[in-house]
């Protein structure tokens, strides 16, 4: 489940905890940088941004912030170097390209500035290597997550606005599978085909009018019978929580991410067990390595981590040529052979990318953009691997909602699609 404000929400921090979390560290560094900028202390500002750059594993958001800091300091070469790093990452800055950011006025006459603007602009070039597989008939669904039922050869899709799970046939026909027992948005879904169960989450997002205000901050993990859609179990999440993403461990137990609080939970014997609350700022849909109990956990802000379910050890994925690979803004992550497939609706531009891993599965050695800035591949959320095809939800509709979950003025929903990409 995507965060509403990529960095602002992530830097909100988790106050009152004895261990300084990644969120708290990031919050303090951001505050230090802002205070230094206000005071005109450019050296302290840059030092804080460099610490933040390290904490967030080279996030393009901080590269952009460093470029602005160097420009404000009058360091033209430093600013241009950071803008070129942003271009190397395949990213861009729309406000900069639109000429609305006056913080670069001191370097706009330099030849290097014109060249890097051309590079940043080129990064917005549409790329489309996917095909439309299914057009969902209801424009008001706001679909979020998708998984595949191997027995019926159909998809189950969660709906934010309709507050239900639908079954979608490959011909596009739709039937209801299950309705949210509390009338809240249905968010994450994972099918345990071998055990004939469906795990899902329902979330009353805090501040969003999609759910009643009396329920805001509540989440629950639900278990349904796959053949019938009958609700088997409901496990209430902690209050407050936003249990928006899920993966299944090898034993079928759900691993659930709270992207707002930065916490990972394991559902075991009807209980929500906190398994990590310090390393992640905004964990999203993780991918499990089939051969063991290792997860690749995408953090919307920090990048991709390897997480050991047995030991709890966290290590951040190394990137050979790290200045060429942007791993921020990942909503869904999926493991296939020696590749990671990422839906990056928090990058700029939004994209779907394929990261090739080395034999140890600890380094990203190359990246290929599959879909970028191309309609209808925009606004992608989650996907599922079926055979050697990756099916994912695009044109979901999230970008058309305001911060309260209301349709923005002048906007209207269009039918979401399920896209398909043939994997290597």
Q: Dump pLDDT digits (tens) for 230-275.
A: 999 999 999 999 999 999 999 999 999 999 999 999 999 999 999 9
392: Cα separation from own chain's centroid: 14
**What percentage of the chain has pLDDT greater than the value 70?**
94
Instruction: Look up the pTM and report it.
Output: 0.92
Beta bridge partners of 422: 389
Question: What residue ranges do the domains of the chain occupy?
Answer: 10-122, 127-422
Query: What angle, 0 to 180 degrees and rounded to 10, lies between the N-to-C axes of helices 42-55 and 60-73?
Result: 170
Q: Comparing 272 with 318, which gets the higher pLDDT?
A: 272
Q: Are 344 and 330 in contact (CB under 8 A)?
A: yes
Place of tokens 């796959």: 226
Secondary structure, 3-state, 4-62: CCCCCCHHHCCCCCCCCCHHHHHHHHHHHHHHHHHHCCHHHHHHHHHHHHHHCCCCHHH
Place of tokens 């803008």: 83
Per-residue confidence band for 96, with pLDDT thresholds at 50, 70 and 90: confident
Place of tokens 């990137």: 319
Instruction: Classify residue 55 as left (phi > 0), alpha (psi -120 to 50) or beta.
Output: alpha
Per-residue confidence band for 95, with pLDDT thresholds at 50, 70 and 90: confident
The set of long-range contacts for 321-326, using a CB threshold of 8 Å and a minimum separation of 24, is 322/58, 323/58, 323/85, 323/88, 323/89, 324/88, 324/89, 324/90, 324/367, 325/89, 325/355, 325/364, 325/367, 326/60, 326/89, 326/90, 326/91
At the second CATH level, the architecture of 127-422 is 6 Propeller (2.120)
Interatomic CA distance for residues 168 and 125, integer angstroms: 32
The CATH code belonging to domain 10-122 is 1.25.40
Q: How far is CA 62 from CA 15, 55, 203, in A?
A: 23, 10, 30
């Amino acid at each position: 489940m995507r965060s509403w404000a990529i960095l602002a929400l992530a830097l909100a921090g988790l106050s009152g905890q004895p261990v300084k979390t990644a969120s708290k560290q990031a919050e303090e560094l951001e505050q230090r940088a802002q205070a230094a900028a206000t005071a005109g202390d450019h050296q302290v500002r840059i030092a804080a941004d460099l610490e933040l750059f390290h904490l967030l594993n080279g996030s393009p958001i901080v590269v952009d912030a460093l470029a602005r800091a160097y420009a404000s300091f009058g360091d033209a070469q430093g600013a241009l170097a950071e803008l070129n790093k942003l271009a190397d990452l395949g990213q861009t800055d729309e406000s900069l390209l639109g000429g609305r950011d006056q913080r670069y006025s001191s370097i706009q006459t330099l030849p290097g500035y014109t060249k890097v603007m051309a590079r940043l602009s080129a990064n917005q070039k549409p790329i489309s290597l996917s095909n439309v597989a299914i057009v969902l008939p209801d424009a008001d669904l706001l679909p979020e997550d998708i998984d595949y039922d191997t027995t019926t050869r159909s998809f189950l899709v969660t709906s934010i606005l309709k507050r239900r799970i639908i079954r979608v046939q490959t011909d596009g026909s739709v039937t209801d599978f299950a309705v949210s027992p509390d009338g809240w948005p249905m968010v994450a879904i994972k099918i345990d085909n071998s055990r004939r169960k469906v795990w899902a989450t329902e979330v009353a997002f805090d501040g969003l009018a999609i759910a009643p205000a009396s329920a805001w901050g509540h989440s629950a993990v639900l278990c349904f019978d796959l053949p019938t859609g009958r609700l088997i179990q409901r496990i209430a999440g902690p209050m407050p929580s936003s249990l928006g993403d899920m993966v299944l461990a090898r034993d079928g137990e759900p691993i659930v991410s709270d992207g707002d609080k930065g916490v990972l939970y394991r559902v075991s014997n009807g209980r929500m067990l906190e398994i990590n609350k310090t390393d992640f700022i905004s964990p999203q849909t993780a991918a499990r390595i089939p051969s063991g109990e290792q997860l690749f956990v995408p953090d919307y802000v920090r990048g991709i981590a390897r997480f050991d379910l047995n030991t709890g050890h966290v290590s951040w994925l190394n990137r050979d040529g790290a200045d060429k690979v942007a791993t921020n803004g990942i909503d869904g992550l999926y493991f296939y052979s020696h590749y990671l497939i990422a839906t990056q609706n928090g990058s700029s531009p939004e994209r779907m990318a394929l990261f090739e891993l080395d034999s140890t599965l600890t380094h990203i050695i190359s990246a290929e953009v599959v879909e970028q800035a191309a309609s209808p591949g925009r606004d992608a959320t989650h996907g599922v691997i079926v055979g050697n095809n990756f099916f994912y939800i695009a044109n979901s509709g999230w970008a058309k909602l305001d911060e309260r979950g209301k349709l923005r003025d002048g906007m209207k929903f269009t039918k979401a699609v399920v896209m398909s990409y043939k994997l290597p």
